Every structure is written in C-alpha cells, then in structure tokens.
Structure 1
Amino acid sequence: MSKLPNVGTSIFTIMSQMAAENNAINLSQGFPNFPVDFRLTEILSKLASENVHQYTPMSGLPSLLEKIAILTKQSYQRTVSPKGEILITAGATEGIFATIQALVKAGEEVIILDPSYDCYEAPILLSNAKPIRVSLNSDFTPNWEKINNVVNKKTKLIIINNPHNPTGKTWSVDDFLQLEKLVDSYPNLLVLSDEVYEYITFEKKHISINERSKLYERSIVISSFGKSLHITGWKVGYVIAPVNIMIEIKKVHQFLVFSVSSIAQHAINEYLDIVDFNSIRTFYQEKRTLFRNLMSETKLELLPCEGTYFQVASYAAISDETDIDFTKRLVTEFGVATIPISTFYANGDDHKCIRFCFAKDDKTLVQAAERLLKL
C-alpha cells in the first residue's frame, strides 16, 4: 500500500513533456534558461582542481555559514549564529522536508495556504499528521478569518510563502501583525516561512520573518541560493532557526543527506564576496517589465506581480474551459507551455488563471508573446 496514494506525475512534468512533444516554448517550469554569471562558473572551474571534494561538516561549510550570517545582517538587520542557527540544505525542498519531519508529530495539524507549492503536503502526510488547506482571498492575500477559524491546540505549524509561488504576491505589514497575534494566542504554534524568492521583488522589498523580532523564536526561514543565483540544479539552500529548533532539524538532515555538495558550497562561498544581491532584483524586474509589455497586446489579463519570476494571467475573457484544458490547448495549438493555477489547490479551485515563468532569455519571451498574440 502506498504511503502517498494521491501523489502521481506532477503537472510540471506533464506540461514539460507536452512542450517537448509539441515543440512548444516552455514557460511552465520555474527555472532559468540563460547562462549563470560567468564569474561563478570561473570560480567553479578553478575549484575543480583543488581539494574541495570531500564531505563538509554536516551543518555546512563554516565560512559559508559565516557569510550567510553577514548576508542576513545586511539584508534584514538580524544577527544569527553561524554555528547554531544556520543549516545548509540540499535545496529549499530538503530544508522544508527536514523541518516538517523534525517538528511535526503524528496527529498534529499543519496549515497550508492555497494555492501552494506541492512540496509542503508530502512530509506532513509522511509524519502521519494532517494538512489543513486554507484558501487565500481572491486577490491572493491571506484570509485571516479563515485561518483563525481552523487553528487549534493540535496546530503545530503554519506554512507561509512570501514572495508567493505561484501568484507573485507579497505580504503586508498588517499580515505579519495578524500572524504575530496568532502565534501569541497559541504557544505551541510554529511558523515555517518559505522565502526562496526573497531577492526577486520589485517596487517594494518583501517583508521577511528575519525582520520580525517577535517571531524569531517561533519561526523557521527557508532560503535558496538556487533561486537567488540562477543555479537551481545545484540544489543548495539554507535554513535559519533558533538553536533549540535547529538542533531537531539537524537530527533529520544528517540522515537525509548528511552534507551538501562540497564544491557547490565552496563556489558559492567565494561568489558571495563579489555578487550584488540588488542586481538580482534589478535583473528580474527588467525581465518582468519586458514580459508584461510584450503580453499587454494579448487578450490575457495580467495580474499584479510583486515578486518571484512568475506572472499569473487570467484567460476568463477568452474561454470557459478549465484551466487544465486551456493550458493543454495552449501547448498543442499555440506552442506555449504554462501551468494551470488550479493544480496548486487541494480542491482544484479553478479561477481561470495560468502561470508563466519569465526567467527566460529575451528571445524566448518575445517568441512566446508572438505566439500568444494569436489567441
């Protein structure tokens, strides 16, 4: 009997397969198709012949942990201990998995805010705990009335994703005040904050848990070098948590992977001395502006995009099809692969919206828009 009976082939795999079969432009999966910074590849090439190929310490390369502490201080004015409060993980996904496995016990409940990324639910189920799916408002802001109505003494964790995949929405100060009030009311409630797109925001920077001192002792923050530095295939992320919580997370981490790719950690460690994280924001803002300008001539309605490298669009004025049927037709008839938003909901809620990834080179974005003009 399967421990995850409802898990099948992901929509991301399905759409990418359809894109390949139909020679379509793939704006479905969330990874860049442009080269990484040549300075990083030069560092990697140099390191290949050096003695950096054996295990690093379980928590991570000590010098990289120290630089993450410095980056956190520079970005959020939060002081964290490199030795006790930071853990290098095999991507954000492993950080999320290890956190949930370490902290959530059988019979407890975890709140997931839909639409949500698909990696949250599986480790909850594998813990014999119960995922509680709560839909966001129609503008993809948190519905605090709904959230407060489902939190109880069994609720161990609430998972937030800010900036938000798939919608590109960011939280407001009032949202964090509501969260702090909720945490105050339930002494056993912890917050898992998925902030992998933290350096990809636009008109305003996102508000991080790292800036909310009232939440420090009750929160786990997940970050991703893969997303921030355009190196998703390296699978290097990190977790920030208070020492007492981190001790438990490390217990699980050591039996999942023990340590993360040594050469990748060494390369990122050197690269952090020269990379400007503000340039990452500027780079993706230019991508977003280009894509939105190209798409403005289509019949699709573009929703606000405050962060991430995803753009959500409504096709309600074009078709009454389900979003799954519409995205499949986009591939077969127009040659562009996207993701239907309903697949991010537990109940398959269909808002007639689809998600584009604009982390692509300019030529790809131009060609995709030209095809979508035919809608």
Structure 2
Amino acid sequence: MLLPKKHSGSDFTIFSEMTALAQKHDAVNLSQGFPDYEIDERLKKFLAEGTEKNFNQYAPMSGNPLLIENLMEFNQRRKIEVSKENITVSPGATYGIYTALASVISFGDEVIVLEPNYDSYVPAIEMNGGKPVFVSLNEIFEVNFDALQKAITEKTKAIMINSPHNPSGKIWTKNDWEKLSRILENTEIILISDEVYDVLTYDDQEFFSAFHHPKLSERCFSIFSFGKMFHLTGWKVGYVLASEELSLAYRRVHQYLSFSVNAPAQYALAKYLEVFDVKENIKTMQNKRDFFLHQIQDLPFTLNEKAEAGYFQILDFSNISDLSDKDFAIWLTEKAKVATIPVSAFYHDQKNTGKVRFCFAKKEETILKAVENLKAFL
C-alpha cells in the first residue's frame, strides 16, 4: 500500500530507540526525559477528587475555569499579565507546538529553527506545509543574532524558540529577547516559544518568557507543560499563552483536533497550583543536578557548562572515544549499561558533536547505579 510520508523525521524517535535499547540490554535509562520518582501525593488526591466531584465529561474548549483562573494568578506573580482570553489548556506541549504552527503557517512558508532543537519541531512544521530553515546556536548554545537576521526572508512566517533549552539547559536572557524584538520590529513574523522548563531554573538564574516582553507578547505563542512543571509527564497536559488574536486562531484549529483536555486532570492541576511551591521545586531539581554532577566528577567525561535549567546535562566524551556520538551512545548502552541521547539527534543533519545528554531527573539510587556501571566499564 502506497502511503504518503508527511515529514522528514524518522519512523521512531531517538528517545524511543534508546529506551528500547536500554530495555533490551537491561541498562539504566538516563536517555528519556521522564522522572522515575513518585509524584506529589497531593496530586494523586486531587486527581481522585476530580473524578469524585464528577469532572468526568468534556471540559470547556479553552480549559477548566478554575485552572484558567489559577494560571492567571500564577503568571501574574511572575509579572506575566494575562487574561482568560490569553490562555488555552492543551493536551501536552508537543500538541501545543503543532497546533500553534497549524494555526499560522501556510504551504511554502518558512519557519526558522534554532538548532540543536527538540525533534518534534521539524515534523510539525512539515506536516503543516512549512519549510524549516536552520540556524545553529554557537558552541555554548547561545544565539548568533546576525545569522538569525540573515536567515529571514520574505517567506519567513515564524521562528521557533526554546528557552530554557533542550538539550543544553541554556536560558534566554532579557537582553536576548530585546535583540530579537529589534530584529522583528518591522515584520509580521510570529514566535513559537517552547518554554516547558520555565519553573526549573538553577543557581538563581531568572526565567524570561517571550510573554514578558511587551512587543513580543503580541506576536508569540508561549507553550508550557504541567508534565515538566510537576514531574508527571504521563498526564500530557500543558497550556498556551497567546494574544487574543492568536488565541482565536489557535482555538480555531484546536476545536477540531482534541477540542478539550482530560477533565479530572485539569481539576487536579488547578488545585495543585494553589499549593505549588516554586522555590521548593527548583531546590529539589537543582539538588538532583548537583548530585549527578558530584557523582560523575571522577569519570573521564568533560563538563563544559552546568545546565542552567531543565532535566538534562550535556557531557563531552572526546577523552573516552573517537566514535560518533550516536555510536558512542549505543556502545555505552550495550557495554556500560547506561543509556543516553547523542546530541547529534537534535540537529537536522545528525552531525557528530562528541557529546551525549544525560537525564538527571531521577531517584538518587538510579543515578548511583548508572555511575557504578560507568565506573566499572570506563
């Protein structure tokens, strides 16, 4: 049967591939970005409460009113002024990215992608008829704004931004957003801003959203994930901030895809926002990052920069092997029994980087087992 291939992505993502390899070889899985520790017991209680209170039918298209209200208050506390017209709850951030693109791009439009980038961006662009245009970040994962400006053409419809960044953990500064605003000043280019690690920033680093910027907020979709915020990736719930005009365009597509999002989960998330301690959340995850870095300090990897945010730490393995990063990740999984992600997977041309990405959002015993395996082999 002849079926169309809608995008240039692989049939199985690198995350599925490395997780399957980890399972096959009984390796510690530090590849995929999901925690292996329990979620907050209050979330479980609120979820059960949601079903008991009969939040079991379709929720409103834009989201549960209590969740919308609590999101307004949560964002206002961090100086992001939004109204209910600016918020749409989504079945996960990846869905939010896809739907934002579907709502604004037409066949042949160009979308600039800053790479390395999360692997769903390019297929989402291509499935909506767009053409990805790649601009590489520099060696320390900062934006070359001259290169970005040169990549803009009359066909450029949107730019994909990711801050805090996956895989590096780099955070855009207030000055970065201002530079971008100046570049876009006389254009109608739209921003698709993936900000799913917004509440996981370390060492007193400050998070800035595209929605913090008064001019950019009128031309952006800022996309967030409760899965990352609250460490419950399997719930697949997120939310999107956009201007009233862009929210209307988003919902025009959203209503014909999922229409609404898991109702009891929305209730649980709304209630949890009322007790959520951002500082404690940051402290917990920074401790996990620091624990991982302390444990691997005697291994022959090279740490170029500590992750500023997120779930992941990139390490250089050039002192260990001259294999490509993909081959090294496979070799490490099969022989040392520790699964990672090659950083080349985040580039469209799969270029070798000599680096792999580790997930530190794990229990301490998981990290200790991984380090034990690595020390026994390397």
Pairwise TM-score range, normalised by the shorter structure: over 0.9
Residue identity in the other structure for 2:337: G
Q: Which stretch shows the higher mean deviation, 238-247 or 208-217?
A: 208-217
With normalisation by structure 1, the TM-score equals 0.97
The aligned residue for residue 58 of structure 2 is 55
Aligned equivalent of 1:351, options 349, 353, 360: 353
**Residue 297, structure 1, aligned to residue 301, structure 2:** no
Q: Is this contact kept in 1: 2:50–2:265, CA < 8 A?
A: no
The aligned residue for residue 96 of structure 1 is 97
Give the gaps of 5 or more residues in structure 2.
none
* Aligned equivalents of 2:110, 2:178: Cα separation in 1: 22
* Aligned equivalents of 2:364, 2:164: Cα separation in 1: 23
Deviation at 1:211, TM superposition (A): 1.8
* Aligned equivalents of 2:50, 2:182: Cα separation in 1: 48
Q: Is this contact kept in 1: 2:9–2:122, CA < 8 A?
A: no
* Aligned equivalents of 1:202, 1:155: Cα separation in 2: 34
* Aligned equivalents of 1:289, 1:191: Cα separation in 2: 33
The aligned residue for residue 121 of structure 1 is 122
SS of corresponding position for 2:222:
strand
SS of corresponding position for 2:240:
strand
Report matched runs for 1:1-375 at 5 Å.
1-4=4-7, 6-75=9-78, 77-82=79-84, 84-186=85-187, 188-203=188-203, 204-304=205-305, 305-373=307-375, 374-375=377-378
Residue identity in the other structure for 1:198: D
Deviations 1:264-293 (A, max 9, x none): 001111111111122111110000010000
Deviations 1:305-350 (A, max 9, x none): 1000100000011111000110001011100000000010011122
Q: Which stretch shows the higher mean deviation, 41-50 or 28-37?
A: 41-50
* Aligned equivalents of 1:66, 1:206: Cα separation in 2: 22
* Aligned equivalents of 1:39, 1:126: Cα separation in 2: 39
* Aligned equivalents of 2:231, 2:159: Cα separation in 1: 28
Q: Is this contact kept in 2: 1:303–1:311, CA < 8 A?
A: no
* Aligned equivalents of 2:176, 2:361: Cα separation in 1: 28
SS of corresponding position for 1:246:
helix
Deviation at 1:11, TM superposition (A): 0.9
Residue identity in the other structure for 1:126: M
* Aligned equivalents of 1:6, 1:14: Cα separation in 2: 13
Deviation at 1:371, TM superposition (A): 1.6
With normalisation by structure 2, the TM-score equals 0.96
SS of corresponding position for 1:167:
coil
Deviation at 1:5, TM superposition (A): 5.0
* Aligned equivalents of 2:6, 2:276: Cα separation in 1: 43
Deviation at 1:78, TM superposition (A): 2.2
* Aligned equivalents of 1:286, 1:243: Cα separation in 2: 39
Q: Which stretch shows the higher mean deviation, 40-49 or 9-18?
A: 40-49
* Aligned equivalents of 2:210, 2:34: Cα separation in 1: 25
* Aligned equivalents of 2:153, 2:268: Cα separation in 1: 45
Q: Is this contact kept in 2: 1:216–1:241, CA < 8 A?
A: yes
Give the gaps of 5 or more residues in structure 1.
none
Check 1:162–1:6 CA distance in 2 against 1; reply closer, same or farther (3 A cut): closer
Percent identical among aligned pairs is 38
* Aligned equivalents of 1:350, 1:167: Cα separation in 2: 16
Q: Is this contact kept in 1: 2:210–2:222, CA < 8 A?
A: yes
* Aligned equivalents of 2:209, 2:271: Cα separation in 1: 25
